[in-house]
Chain A
Amino acid sequence: MVELLGVRKRYGEVVAVDGVDLGLKEGEFFTLLGPSGCGKTTTLRLVAGFEAPDAGEVRIGGERVNALPPERRPIGMVFQNYALFPNMTVFGNVAFPLRLKGLPEREVRRKVGTLLEMVHLVGLEGRYPKELSGGQQQRVALARALAREPKVLLLDEPLSALDAKIREELRGELKRLQRETGLTTLYVTHDQEEALALSDRIAVMREGRVEHLGTPREIYEEPATPFVAAFVGTGVLVPGEAREGLFHRDRPWPVRVKGEGPGFLLLRPERLRLEEGGFLEGTVVLATYLGSLVRLEVEVGGLVLKVDLPPGRVPALGQRVRLGLPEEAPFVREER
């Protein structure tokens, strides 16, 4: 549905997007994930048409759109700061794209009604944006983005300006709406949890390039690079070597890994346990209470490993503990 082929974009000295290849399937929820400055927003803006690529090709629905301005692309978009028209009511905002299309007023009313029902805003038609909460404003923005019946929905960090609770609520609704409408969706976020929860596929970006493209599960469980491993989820990267299927750090560890040569072992906190006679021994240096669990930090020979425990008997700070390793764990190496 959306394809990017070797797309590049630079602003003066800064290369924002450095040769990106992507393909979104019809009906897919696709996320661009990465820290700020990684090029994800520029990539989205290239799809929207606010920027023109310096090289490469952008296609929507099989059609090359490099030279098309945004208003001629079949897209809808939701912005981080809602971007509602402050001089128009809720109804006016949602009706705006429909009126531009020249629909008869009766049709406009009907459609706006349906859209506002979809985002649960019936009854607020007459309000102005400044009279709405952040969550409500973003629902209006969503309804407005859908009004034109776009082929692709673009979402630029739509939840990041909202409070945690509303963010989660709206996240669920976004997913539901996307599933109901079956709309191809390109989503940009720096929040890996959001990305994992929502996406069919994720592209993790770094310095203008796609570092790893895969399903949430693949990204989490088999990160392609140390960067992806560190950015997605929590974990500690233990430098070492893979040799004959086992991880070595001074000595062989009883952890099966894939690959061969120097690299990092990714130890996620939920995969480690406290265990009598565990392979590693260390000292508890920090315990953080997180409600549903307690995260211990244990110093082992110059490394600080993280271990999640059920809240209950928690070892005291300074106590010596032994850690049991998973039988198998991701092993990542620097490419290039």
Chain B
Amino acid sequence: MGQRGVGWLLALPGLAVLGGVVGLPLLYALFLSLTGYSFLRPSYDWVGPARYQEAFRDPYFLHALGLTALYVAVTVGLTLVLALVLAVLLQQNLPWKGFHYFVVSLPMLIAPVGVGLIWKMILHPELGILSYLFGKVDFFGDARYALFSLALVDVWQQVSFAALVLLAGLRSLPKEPLEAAYVDGATPWQAFLRVTLPLLRPVLVVLLILQTLAEVRTYDLVYVLTRGGPGSATDLVSYYIYRKAFLGLDLSGASAMGYLLLLLTLALVAAYYRLLTRG
């Protein structure tokens, strides 16, 4: 057996588990999406691409897709910027460092449903502390603000993980190029923009991928905070697909939509990946 053979052999158990846990359900879902299967009529009658065509004709699904694109852009963008600021601050030699770390990691340690419930009370328009302090704002009940409010809560939680990843990235950067930049006459801001950020790019791109994937899957916060409302103002696509499957009992239709979402997400990740490998 050659070296390659041994390599494959060693990878086999892992690949088998991965294939079983990820591969099989994916294949099953693909198969389902080409049938008319529903919980009420659990039969695998072949319908071809009909469920996909239906999805494209469903204005509420398309609305959910568009809304999700906006949501992902807002949350990922905000998360990355805030996380970067936090990471840079945490990197300074502040007093009470351990305490700051603890506080920043806190949101990450709370389950998303818990985060939703906490913020639901904080942002409660009648009884919430924020309304008490700054006057009543209808964060989730006003269709104009609801998506943005949802995004803020999400960012509050996500920024924790992102900041710690970026901090680890910052810590692992060689110190000398930065010092060299200072000696070369760069102000801290210039050094950050022209040396630290480019050095941090691989970490940033990986984080971009992780965050995008996490945000596309946003479901729990919608479930706890808005149920997709008011109207359809926060009807994100993952929540929409969930309802298709478990309220509509339409597993095949939900699978088709899930596959469309998967393809879109893969395309996005591929684009990010090129960003990572370029240059």
Contact of A83 among B177, B186, B194, B279 (CB under 8 A): B177
User: Is A100 in contact with B177, judged by CB distance below 8 angstroms?
Assistant: no
Task: Provide the residues of chain A in CB contact with B47, threshold 8 Å.
Answer: none
User: What is the distance, in angstroms, from A43's C-beta to the closest C-beta of chain B?
Assistant: 16
Assembly CA distance A147 to B181 (angstroms): 12
Task: Provide the residues of chain B in CB contact with A70, threshold 8 Å.
Answer: 179, 182-183
With A85-B198, A87-B198, A87-B199 known to touch, is A100 a contact of B176 (CB < 8 Å)?
A: no
With A85-B198, A100-B190 known to touch, is A69 a contact of B182 (CB < 8 Å)?
A: yes
The bracket for how many chain B residues form the interface is 10 to 19
Contact of A71 among B186, B194, B198 (CB under 8 A): B186
**For window 51-79 of chain A, which residues contact chain B by CB distance below 8 Å?**
69-71, 75-77, 79
Provide the A134-177 mask, 1 if CB < 8 A to any CB of B, else 0. 00000001001101100000100000000000000000000000
Task: Provide the residues of chain A in CB contact with B190, threshold 8 Å.
Answer: 100
Assembly CA distance A327 to B195 (angstroms): 60
The bracket for how many chain A residues form the interface is 20 to 34
Contact of A85 among B181, B182, B279 (CB under 8 A): B181
With A85-B198, A86-B199, A100-B190 known to touch, is A75 a contact of B183 (CB < 8 Å)?
A: yes
B185 at the interface (CB under 8 A from A): yes
User: Is B186 in contact with A145, judged by CB distance below 8 angstroms?
Assistant: no
Provide the A86-105 mask, 1 if CB < 8 A to any CB of B, else 0. 11000000001100110000
**For window 132-187 of chain B, which residues contact chain A by CB distance below 8 Å?**
174, 176-177, 179-187
User: What is the distance, in angstroms, from A126's C-beta to the closest C-beta of chain B?
Assistant: 13
Assembly CA distance A91 to B111 (angstroms): 50
Assembly CA distance A70 to B185 (angstroms): 7
Chain B residue at minimal CB-CB distance from A79: B176
Task: Provide the residues of chain B in CB contact with A86, threshold 8 Å.
Answer: 177, 198-199
Task: Provide the residues of chain A in CB contact with B174, threshold 8 Å.
Answer: 81, 83
A84 at the interface (CB under 8 A from B): yes
Assembly CA distance A145 to B199 (angstroms): 20
Task: Provide the residues of chain A in CB contact with B182, threshold 8 Å.
Answer: 49-50, 69-71
A48 at the interface (CB under 8 A from B): yes
With A81-B176, A100-B190 known to touch, is A76 a contact of B183 (CB < 8 Å)?
A: yes
Task: Provide the residues of chain A in CB contact with B176, threshold 8 Å.
Answer: 79-83
User: What is the distance, in angstroms, from B201's C-beta to the closest C-beta of chain A?
Assistant: 8
Known: A69-B182, A97-B184, A147-B184. 11 other contacts (CB 8 A): A48-B179, A70-B179, A75-B183, A76-B184, A77-B179, A79-B176, A83-B174, A84-B177, A87-B279, A96-B194, A100-B184
